Amino acid sequence: MANTSSQLLFKKYRQENNLDLALALAQSEYAENSSEPFWICWLGDALRCKGLWAEAKNHWQKLPGVNSAMAPLWRDLGNEFLTHIYNNTGKAEAQGINIYDAINFISCGCTYDPEAESLNNLAIALELAGDLKSASTALELAIALKPNLNELESNQEILNLAINCAESPQLLSKTQLINLGLSTANTLVQNKKNHSAGKELYEIFFKALAEELNADSLALKITNILLELELTPYIYSCQEEENIAKTKALQLSTSLKELCEDCDFEYAANRKLCSRAAALCTGFYYAYLQDDDLKYFSNYSDALEIIFRSAPCTSYQLAKNKKDPIRLGIASMRLRNFNGVIGALTWLEKLPKEDYEIFVYMLDGGSMLDDDYSSRFRDLGSCKYLNLNSENYQEVLKLIKSDILDVLLIPDVGMDGINRILSIHRLAPLQCLTWGHPVTSGSAHMDIYISGAAMEPRDGQKNYREELVNLPGLGWNFEIPAAPKQDEYFNLAPYRNKNGILLGSLQSLFKYLPSYDYVFIELLSNLANSSLCFISSGLEEQDQIMRNRILSKVGGQFSNGSTIHFLPRMKDASFISVFGQIDLNLDSLGWSGCNTSLRAMMMGCPTITYASELMRGRHTTAILHLLGLNNCVAASPKNYINLALELCNNPQQLLNIKKHILSNYTQLFNDNSCIQALDTLLKDRIYGREANSIKN
């Protein structure tokens, strides 16, 4: 078990650049915890920072492999090797490192987490070692991530030399170059939201992978459909694009299932090709089209079951002695400070300890991303760091099965391809998910969807392939976040127009569909000098799409002096402080806020919402109902506009709402009734008082 206090102390030393103390602590902890990923990673990093190159290299090579969480450290070490070699020719080799070490470490790191400057350095290292062809490929990938690298004369020289080079040593294999290419494509799509460049690289390198594996043309076609589904726009530029996406996605998911039924996945090459694509694809953004997506995700999960050759979903007879504790596992790529899993953490912490044996599966392998919440997850019970991917999934599934779980909880199915792989396999008699990503998994192997009674519509079951079970209230036991300190406040004064009201709608921008733009336009058009603040996506070009989408409908600017703004991304404390300064919080329509709305309540911020038909659009509705603020919930978008205008023109009413929230918001937090209900649910199902089987 990891020593949380030692980890925190080590991070403190590193932040203070106290390298001697950091190294001494890392060496001491590694001696006692030699299999702990945290200390394996950070002892190597401490050695690197002390300039002990050979020791750092030798230590890191003890690792069984690289994963996405460790990748930045590998990149950094390789980059520093290259710099040291470049500046100390001859001396570096005497210290036990050479150009091949730089190539190895940078390429390993970039295979999991590509970064433009590191790929550029990889190209330089490969060119120094004489491999011009691989250098050219690495440089082209660097330029895809950062186009201005193409302007450097030294880079143009590498590209020209590669074109004119007849032969060169091949230091990176074709497979390694394909892995770099696919990882770079994934970064362009997932992080940069540059779908055109990402799609081009996906097509190039998946075609190369298909040729390398000798996969069938049908398998490549399936791969292309998976990638096409993944390229759902991040922010829609217009209503037409939104409509096309809705129609196209359902058609493609149907085709995907049909093609998978016709493809020979007994042939290993086909399975390897398609499973690689499936592991990269999340299906995340499709849900934000806010459609009835049960059929889509059922098609998608059924197709993945065929690709991964999941065992048929059979009935599990339960014979559990009531004297034995329930063996409960929780698995995710994000068992840390992430909104989609924290609710599950407080569940498991507060279940009766004597009645449960908890197993924690950190599917990202664990490492430098560990934080206080990671430590709390680890402290729940037995913890395994599992680097699940499309190559090793069968071995990882066997490890989980070996724990003979009664219950498996995957709190955030749909956030990434890895969690989805887990969801299409039967690993425990009872498999549950919850609303870390508030849509159905679509998987026949997931038994129960655990939601909150206050959020679900009366006919909510129709939206799930799983059995819907509602816990009281919001369903989660939320902790009250720390109130912002004075020096953590973000100053909103520059965003308030003179004599105007300050509005906020501070959700992730991909929640806002063109379908509802008219709501914000009508509000601002009827409130002279008002200002509306969104929160930036962190990508200027994506913010600009949303800005243009709204302003193009009013001739480029509002004629009455109203304005829209995109606040910079900020730490949680500063974000919370914003709600103490805006006059009215406008919940996003169709896909509601939850954690955001809870933070608004902490600050007493008047908030309105629209209760849509799906649970994902009813989080704030539930919060306001629980506070007795039914009059702040609109029955339609038109009613939402009228309600907002009424409140904005009545400062006293806004003040009354603020006072009511501040007097009552604490009841939204630390609600143990959901813990008691969850305990009852699990015991009923596992000890067989309700049924003798889970699923037929």
Query: Which residues have CB under 8 Å from 203's CB, separation 6+?
Result: 224, 227
Segments in 33-173 forming alpha helices (H)? 37-49, 53-60, 71-87, 91-94, 99-112, 116-128, 132-145, 153-163
| Dist. CA 61–CA 618, nearest whole Å | 50
Q: What is residue 585's predicted lDDT score, i.e. its pLDDT?
A: 98
Residue 346 lies in a domain: yes
Q: What is residue 666's predicted lDDT score, i.e. its pLDDT?
A: 97
> Does 579 score more than 70 pLDDT?
yes
Question: Residue holding tokens 């129960």?
Answer: 448
Query: Which residues have CB under 8 Å from 74's CB, separation 6+?
Result: 60, 66, 105, 106, 108, 109
* Angle subtended by helix axes 37-49 and 19-32, to nearest 10: 150
Segments in 113-216 forming alpha helices (H)? 116-128, 132-145, 153-163, 174-190, 195-213
Residues 579 and 466 in one domain: no
The CATH number of residue 67's host domain is: 1.25.40
- Of 309, 335, 354, the one marking the end of a domain is 309
Residues 102 and 221 in one domain: yes
Mean pLDDT score, 315-343: 86
State the amino acid at position 393 in one-letter form.
Y
**Number of separate domains in the chain:** 4
| Dist. CA 349–CA 653, nearest whole Å | 40
Dihedral sign for Cα atoms in the order 134, 140, 145, 148 = positive
Residue 314 lies in a domain: no
- Give residue-wise pLDDT tens across range 138-169: 999 999 999 999 999 888 988 888 887 777 78
Residue 518 lies in a domain: yes
Q: What is residue 273's predicted lDDT score, i.e. its pLDDT?
A: 97
Which residue pairs, CB below 8 angstroms and at least 24 apart, start in 677-683? 677/471, 677/472, 678/347, 678/351, 678/450, 678/471, 679/351, 679/352, 679/355, 681/448, 681/450, 681/469, 681/471, 682/326, 682/328, 682/407, 682/430, 683/326, 683/355
Dihedral sign for Cα atoms in the order 191, 194, 196, 200 = negative
Residue 694 lies in a domain: no
Pairing status of strand 430-434 against strand 356-362: unpaired
- Give residue-wise pLDDT tens across range 488-533: 999 999 999 999 999 999 999 999 999 999 999 999 999 999 999 9
Helix H or strand E encompassing 590? none
Mean pLDDT score, 457-485: 96
Q: What is residue 693's predicted lDDT score, i.e. its pLDDT?
A: 44
Q: CB neighbours (10 Å) of residue 483?
A: 12
Residues 128 and 214 in one domain: yes
| Dist. CA 565–CA 134, nearest whole Å | 44
Residues 290 and 351 in one domain: no
Residues found in the chain:
696
| Dist. CA 190–CA 9, nearest whole Å | 33
In degrees, rounded to 5, the angle at the alpha carbon of residue 119 between the alpha carbons of residues 56 and 195 is 130
Residues 574 and 635 in one domain: yes
Question: Residue holding tokens 């009766």?
Answer: 352
Distances in whole angstroms, Cα of residue 7 to Cα of each of 12, 38, 89, 306, 368: 9, 8, 37, 42, 10
- Of 197, 226, 255, the one marking the end of a domain is 226
The CATH number of residue 349's host domain is: 3.40.50.11380
Domain of residue 405 covers 326-479+674-686
Residue 336 lies in a domain: yes
Residues 31 and 173 in one domain: yes
- Of 226, 259, 292, the one marking the end of a domain is 226
| Dist. CA 511–CA 534, nearest whole Å | 11
pTM of the model: 0.91
Residue 141 lies in a domain: yes
Q: Which two tokens stand for residue 141?
A: 């990938």
Residues 469 and 491 in one domain: no
Residue 92 lies in a domain: yes
Residues 31 and 152 in one domain: yes
The answer to whether the CB of 246 falls within 8 A of the CB of 291 is yes
| DSSP reduced 3-state for 525 | helix
- Give residue-wise pLDDT tens across range 187-212: 999 988 999 999 999 999 999 999 99
Residue 129 lies in a domain: yes
Residues 408 and 521 in one domain: no
Residues 123 and 201 in one domain: yes
The CATH number of residue 516's host domain is: 3.40.50.2000
Residues 440 and 378 in one domain: yes
Query: Which residues have CB under 8 Å from 402's CB, separation 6+?
Result: none
- Give residue-wise pLDDT tens across range 30-47: 888 777 767 777 788 888
Residues 17 and 160 in one domain: yes
| Dist. CA 574–CA 124, nearest whole Å | 41
The answer to whether the CB of 174 falls within 8 A of the CB of 208 is yes
